[in-house]
């Protein structure tokens, strides 16, 4: 036993990543590409230079996939949107029918129009909508929005020969702050955690308003959480550009449960900024109370209730008086009496009694910048595409041509190509790609974010100290000795006091091979399917494994479905093989992370809902290690009482999960390099 006070001061909130995932990519102008290529080979699907990892869900205008970039090994959310107007109209009609059944459903085309929420007017409004114009507006807004709390658009792939467009965006590991299903089930967020989420959302919205952009569809599921602790707004399909400072509109779209009362009145014009403030207040209400402010059986009835019923708070759910006062001000029915966004950001509740820095107001966009943006959006789509293609073909300063298939951002892992685009895109906004972006304002913003992050970290660190402040048993582990073994039921999580541990992970393809071997069907899945060739990275496996490799040499020749392979795939696969050989720690295990003094290990199990969960990884001492053992039962009890601490451990867990996903992707690439690609080249 030991007193932990002397070592708790080294507690770390940021864990280094072998794959460069712990730091947020730098803000940079959007990259444009004019070629869209899709192919499948060896069980892997590629869209341009992106390896498709899994399906994430459907956004307002298309399906979203998690992808890994071949050039920087970072994870991105890639939205695939159909440009066919007929298909878009069909999707909007389907969404309209869904929204008629639920006020929480989003169907922009079904929203009440200038004459209010009459069914006849709704049909007329839908017919007048142009889905392609909405898509262009979404892209235009994201091009303009360079802010840490706005999901960054990294690349637009618009091939005139294809019916699809790709939007490559940052991947935020934690997903939505609150899903629609979670809201329907009454899930709630503790007030201290909701404050941190809400501050980030308010900063993002203030920035958008300073750029004369109205979000138009604020709701909990459009706020995404990242492993670095930030929340970012997403989904700009309903956004609008304000032509004047007042920003008045006469057409409504968005999600009914979060529409302001003035948007529901017949023949009414409304101010976009005030409507966004109402929706932001409705989000905060949902975070705290696990429900929307007003409920009704139908959308039409909801419109009546919102305009006539005062805001009330559930008596059985605790909430501070300051929070209630803020909500009443934001949900005020009269937009002229409603709190403005600057008033919201200056509200005492936002600083937690001076525990957090006041939120700074962004500099407003100049009228000239706004005019440039509007003029740019009025140019014909074909002209805009030709200008982007011309920019792509222009020679770079280093004498080369701008690459169509480059990485949106560089990373610390060795790039697959010697001259990737990562370095170019670390330079920040350029005159041609980010018209109206103020470099000095961007620098001030980053400085403000750094200061806010320091203070937020202090708050989170204080919340975690209770886990290690008490006397805990301290164990000493010799180099090579495991702290945790995969497959064992865990009893403790550990806090590293001294020394360093390695986290070893087995890619799921190899786990599947182990199961197949145990059931006598291992030979049914050859390496050409992107699986067991990874056994050969580094020192080889057992004699039985080598025999299986020989048996698989006679497997059918692999084929390529679709268009040509990504230009850098062969070199990337070779680099993945080389990298994994350095990370290999056993026949099927690879180093995925290192943890040192001040780090926790085993947090994934501590956050699981089950009473006992098997370890998914091996944690072994790489040197002599001292670690405090925290029983899972005690950790779960503390986290249930301290939501900020639970939030911080969740962020560490999201980072760990992303590291595992990247290793999985590298394993699939290496399998292609070992077995599939050489045989394709022989043909």
Catalytically active residues, by annotation = 217
SS3 state at 235: coil
Q: Tell me how far CA of residue 344 lies from CA of 201, 334, 358, 377, 488, in angstroms.
A: 12, 16, 11, 31, 50
- Which sign does the torsion angle of CA 461, 464, 470, 476 carry? negative
In this structure, what DSSP letter does residue 500 have? -
CA torsion angle 462 466 469 474 (round to 10): -120
For residue 370, give both structure tokens.
């706004």
Q: Under a CB-based contact definition with an 8 Å cutoff, are residues 249 and 301 in contact?
A: no
The whole-angstrom separation of Cα 11 and Cα 24 is 21
Q: Which of 267, 286, 69, 82 is nearest to 197 (CA)?
A: 286
Contacts of 35 (CB under 8 A, 6+ apart): 48, 157, 159, 404, 405
Neighbours of 486 (CB within 10 A): 16
Concatenate the DSSP letters of all residues of 92-142 into one string: HHHHHHHHHH-TTS--GGGS-BTTBS-HHHHHHHHHH--HHHHHHHHHHHH
The whole-angstrom separation of Cα 142 and Cα 54 is 24
The whole-angstrom separation of Cα 656 and Cα 640 is 22
The whole-angstrom separation of Cα 43 and Cα 531 is 9
Residue in the structure block whose two tokens are 């017919």: 127
If residue 81 lies in a helix (H) or strand (E), which one and from where to where? Answer: strand 75-82
Q: Angle between the 367-378 and 131-144 helix axes, to the nearest 10 degrees? A: 150
SS3 state at 246: coil
Residue in the structure block whose two tokens are 């507006």: 137
Round the CA-based radius of gyration of the chain to a whole number and report it. 26
SS3 state at 50: strand
Q: Tell me how far CA of residue 173 lies from CA of 185, 228, 582, 654, 664, in angstroms.
A: 22, 9, 27, 6, 16
Phi, psi of 290, rounded to the nearest 5 degrees: 70, 25
Concatenate the DSSP letters of all residues of 558-612 into one string: P-EEESPPPTTHHHHHHHHHHHHHHHB-SSS-EEEEEE-TT-EE-HHHHTSSSSS
Q: Angle between the 131-144 and 85-101 helix axes, to the nearest 10 degrees? A: 90
Q: Which of 68, 70, 47, 74 is nearest to 573 (CA)?
A: 70
If residue 88 lies in a helix (H) or strand (E), which one and from where to where? Answer: helix 85-101
Q: Which of 196, 183, 170 is nearest to 106 (CA)?
A: 183
Phi, psi of 562, rounded to the nearest 5 degrees: 95, -145
The whole-angstrom separation of Cα 543 and Cα 287 is 57
Query: Residue-wise over 34-64: b if at least 16 C-beta within 10 A, else e?
Result: bbbbbbebbbbbbbbbbbbbeebeebbbbeb
Q: Which of 434, 437, 5 is nearest to 207 (CA)?
A: 437
Tell me if 83 is assigned to a ligand binding site: yes
In this structure, what DSSP letter does residue 401 have? B
Per the annotation, binding residues for ATP are 83
């Amino acid at each position: 036993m030991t007193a932990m006070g002397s070592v708790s001061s080294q507690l770390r909130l940021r864990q280094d990543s072998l794959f460069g995932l712990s730091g947020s990519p730098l803000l940079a102008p959007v990259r444009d590409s004019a070629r869209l290529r899709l192919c499948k080979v060896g069980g892997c699907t590629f869209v341009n230079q992106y390896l498709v990892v899994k399906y994430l869900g459907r956004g307002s205008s298309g399906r979203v996939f998690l992808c890994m970039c071949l050039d920087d090994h970072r994870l991105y959310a890639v939205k695939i949107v159909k440009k066919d107007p007929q298909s878009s109209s069909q999707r909007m009609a389907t969404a309209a029918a869904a929204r008629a059944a639920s006020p929480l459903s989003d169907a922009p085309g079904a929203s009440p129009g200038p004459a209010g929420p009459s069914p006849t007017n709704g049909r007329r409004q839908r017919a007048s909508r142009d889905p392609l114009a909405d898509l262009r507006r979404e892209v235009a807004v994201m091009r303009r929005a360079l802010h840490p709390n706005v999901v960054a658009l990294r690349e637009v792939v618009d091939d005139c020969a294809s019916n699809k467009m790709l939007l490559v965006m940052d991947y935020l590991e934690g997903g939505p702050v609150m899903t629609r299903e979670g809201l329907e089930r009454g899930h709630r967020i503790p007030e201290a955690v909701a404050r941190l989420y809400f501050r980030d959302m308010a900063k993002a919205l203030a920035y958008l308003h300073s750029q004369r952009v109205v979000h138009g569809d604020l709701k909990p599921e459009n706020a995404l959480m990242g492993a670095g602790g930030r929340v970012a707004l997403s989904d700009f399909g309903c956004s609008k550009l304000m032509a004047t400072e007042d920003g008045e509109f006469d057409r409504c779209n968005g999600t009914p449960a979060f529409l302001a009362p003035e948007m529901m009145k017949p023949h009414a014009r409304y101010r976009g900024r005030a409507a966004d403030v109402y929706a932001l207040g409705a989000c905060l209400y949902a975070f705290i109370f696990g429900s929307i402010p007003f409920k009704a059986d139908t959308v039409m009835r909801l419109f009546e209730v919102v305009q006539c019923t005062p805001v009330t708070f559930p008596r059985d759910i605790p909430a501070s008086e300051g929070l209630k006062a803020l909500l009443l001000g934001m949900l005020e029915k009269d937009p002229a009496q409603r709190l403005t966004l600057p008033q919201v950001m200056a509200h005492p509740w936002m600083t937690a009694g001076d525990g957090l820095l006041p939120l700074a107001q962004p500099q407003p966009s100049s009228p000239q910048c706004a005019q440039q943006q509007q003029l740019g959006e009025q140019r014909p789509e074909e002209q805009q595409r030709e200008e982007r293609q011309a920019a792509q073909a222009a020679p770079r300063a280093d004498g080369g041509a701008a690459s169509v298939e480059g990485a949106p951002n560089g990373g610390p892992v060795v790039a697959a190509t010697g001259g990737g685009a990562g370095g170019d895109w670390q330079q920040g906004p350029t005159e041609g790609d980010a018209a109206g972006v103020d470099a000095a304002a961007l620098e001030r913003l980053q400085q403000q974010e750094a200061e806010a992050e320091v203070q937020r970290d202090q708050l989170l660190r204080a919340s975690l100290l209770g886990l290690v402040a008490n006397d805990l048993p301290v164990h000493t582990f010799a180099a090579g000795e495991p702290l945790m073994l995969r497959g064992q039921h865990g009893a403790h999580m550990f806090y590293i006091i001294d020394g360093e541990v390695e986290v070893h992970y087995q890619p799921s393809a190899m786990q599947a091979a182990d199961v197949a071997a145990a059931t006598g069907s291992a030979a049914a899945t050859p390496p050409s399917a992107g699986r067991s060739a990874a056994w050969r990275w580094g020192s080889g496996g057992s004699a039985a494994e080598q025999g299986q490799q020989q048996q698989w040499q006679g497997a059918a020749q692999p084929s390529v479905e679709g268009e040509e392979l990504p230009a850098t795939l062969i070199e990337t696969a070779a680099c993945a093989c080389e990298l994994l050989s350095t990370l290999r720690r056993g026949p099927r295990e690879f180093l995925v992370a290192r943890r040192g003094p001040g780090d926790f290990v085993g947090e994934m199990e501590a956050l699981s809902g089950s009473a006992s969960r098997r370890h998914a990884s091996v944690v072994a001492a790489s040197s002599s290690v001292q670690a405090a053992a925290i029983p899972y039962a005690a950790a779960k009890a503390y986290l249930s009482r301290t939501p900020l601490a639970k939030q911080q451990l969740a962020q560490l867990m999201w980072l760990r999960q992303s590291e595992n996903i990247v290793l999985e992707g590298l394993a699939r690439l290496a399998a292609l390099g070992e077995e599939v690609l050489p045989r394709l080249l022989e043909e």
